[in-house]
Amino acid sequence: MDYLPSLSLTTISIALLALLLTPTIMGLFSKNKFDVNGKTVLLTGASEGMGKSVAIQLAKKGASIIIVARNVGKLESALAEIKAAAPSPSQRFQYISADVSEEDGASRVIAEAIAWNNGASPSIVWCIAGSASPGLFISTPRSIMRKQMDINFWSCVDMAQAILSEWLSPSSLAANTNNEERHLVFTSSVVAFYPVVGYAPYAPSKAAIKSLSDCLVQECLLYGGEVKVHTVFPGTILSPGLENENLTKPEITHILEESDPVQTPDVVARKAIEGLERGEYLVTVSWLGALMRGCAWGGSRRGNWIVDTIVTWVAALVWFFVGWDLDGKVKAYGKRNGHPSTYGRK
């Protein structure tokens, strides 16, 4: 009778392992749900950092690419790199210089993109342009709070309206006789799942993207479901943007971020594309990102319901300790350094 408990433990372990491996096993047999070969893809924020890596990797997979950013010099050199990665001479490439934080930026970009693409809308739009201005809340000018919403949130709202009103118009739906899927992808951040001190100007703008994304996923069902909406949640990306935000980041934010695995733009792009190819809706690119997503699924559409639900239980337990540990670090920092007004940005 001795062997019974150990037998059932083995059985349970094997069953659990099989359950956890299901997505991997199914992934081997399922078809690519984000096929870009021969498609036209528009990417904002693609002259450097994660956006440029996404552009190069999608060009390698056979996509025609339009990149959007402000600085023309950077756009030109990025476009040369992207072109060089393309396997087929029939792929086409273009850049559009625009500030997507301005109210009319996105609609002008979409109009120019359609004109360049011989009257057809791009079939994939991925909003990657964004930036962070970290700082402690009460010393952050309100103008910065507003600018963070402009570049991170309103840029996504405007682009979503510009492209969805093309894709979802009665004439465009009627013309799409072979039910070609269109994809709108937003880029948020793991701080949308778990915001930390120093990101008060930034995290809300990224959390608002998740909320917009959830509404749009459901709203697109009204039109038959040919349009898919997704959001990607990177952690720390070793990019020009990170170098820039680190100039003003409070020291306590650096301390809390220490455990977040730093990833190169290429790795973030590859993992994000792999998630989209598997058909995921809320895409994370690291184990910590997946755990943080587990804290925050709420009512959002899940991928593998069983696995994602088990991860939410694990995350709830793990976060009991993480939250306690990080709050402790913040309290200790406050005690050690006194009132923030005495040390400024540090």
Ligand X SMILES: NC(=O)C1=CN([C@@H]2O[C@H](COP(=O)(O)OP(=O)(O)OC[C@H]3O[C@@H](n4cnc5c(N)ncnc54)[C@H](OP(=O)(O)O)[C@@H]3O)[C@@H](O)[C@H]2O)C=CC1
- The residues that touch ligand X, with contacts defined as CB under 6 A, are 44-51, 68-71, 74, 99-101, 128-132, 151, 187, 189, 234, 236-237, 239-242, 265
**Binding residues among 168-197 for ligand VSD as defined by CB under 6 A:** 189-191, 194, 196
- Give the separation between CA 103 and CA 77, rounded to whole angstroms: 27
Residue 182 backbone phi and psi in degrees, to 5: -115, 145
Burial of 118 (0-12, 13-18, 19+ CB in 10 A): exposed
DSSP single-letter state for residue 297: -
Nearest to 55 by CA among 69, 38, 67, 68: 67
282 touches 210 (CB < 8 A): yes
Residues 6+ apart with CB under 8 A from 40: 63, 64, 65, 66, 92, 113, 117, 120, 122, 123, 124
To the query of whether residue 202 is one of the catalytic residues in this protein, the response is yes
- Binding to ligand VSD by residue 68, rule CB under 6 A? no
To the query of whether residue 206 is one of the catalytic residues in this protein, the response is yes
Written as one letter, the residue type at 185 is V
159 touches 125 (CB < 8 A): yes
Other Cβ atoms within 10 Å of 63 Cβ, number? 26
- Binding to ligand VSD by residue 236, rule CB under 6 A? yes
* Catalytic site residue from 61, 206, 228, 271: 206
Residues 6+ apart with CB under 8 A from 219: none
Other Cβ atoms within 10 Å of 240 Cβ, number? 14
**Binding residues among 127-146 for ligand VSD as defined by CB under 6 A:** 132
Q: Residue 254 Cβ, how far from ligand VSD at the closest point, in Å?
A: 10
Count of residues that interact with ligand VSD, criterion CB under 6 A: 16
Nearest 5 degrees, angle CA 74-CA 68-CA 239? 55
The binding track of 301-340 with respect to ligand VSD, each residue x by CB under 6 A or -, is -----------------x---x------------------
Return the one option of ligand X, ligand VSD, none that residue 128 interacts with (CB less than 5 to 8 A, by type): ligand X
CB-wise, 260 or 277, nearer to ligand VSD?
260
- Binding to ligand VSD by residue 149, rule CB under 6 A? no
- Give the separation between CA 172 and CA 156, rounded to whole angstroms: 22
Return the one option of ligand X, ligand VSD, none that residue 240 interacts with (CB less than 5 to 8 A, by type): ligand X
* Chain residue at closest Cβ approach to ligand VSD: 189
CB-wise, 63 or 292, nearer to ligand X?
292
* Catalytic site residue from 202, 210, 228, 249: 202
- Give the separation between CA 75 and CA 51, rounded to whole angstroms: 11
Return the one option of ligand X, ligand VSD, none that residue 260 interacts with (CB less than 5 to 8 A, by type): ligand VSD
Return the one option of ligand VSD, ligand X, none that residue 322 interacts with (CB less than 5 to 8 A, by type): ligand VSD
CB-wise, 202 or 297, nearer to ligand X?
202
Other Cβ atoms within 10 Å of 232 Cβ, number? 28
Q: Residue 30 Cβ, how far from ligand VSD at the closest point, in Å?
A: 30
Cα–Cα distances in angstroms (integers) from residue 144 to residues 59, 82, 202, 210, in the given order: 35, 33, 9, 21
Return the one option of ligand VSD, ligand X, none that residue 47 interacts with (CB less than 5 to 8 A, by type): ligand X
Q: Residue 48 Cβ, how far from ligand X at the closest point, in Å?
A: 5
Catalytic positions: 202, 206
Enumerate binding residues for ligand VSD (CB under 6 A): 132, 189-191, 194, 196, 235-236, 242, 245, 256-257, 259-260, 318, 322
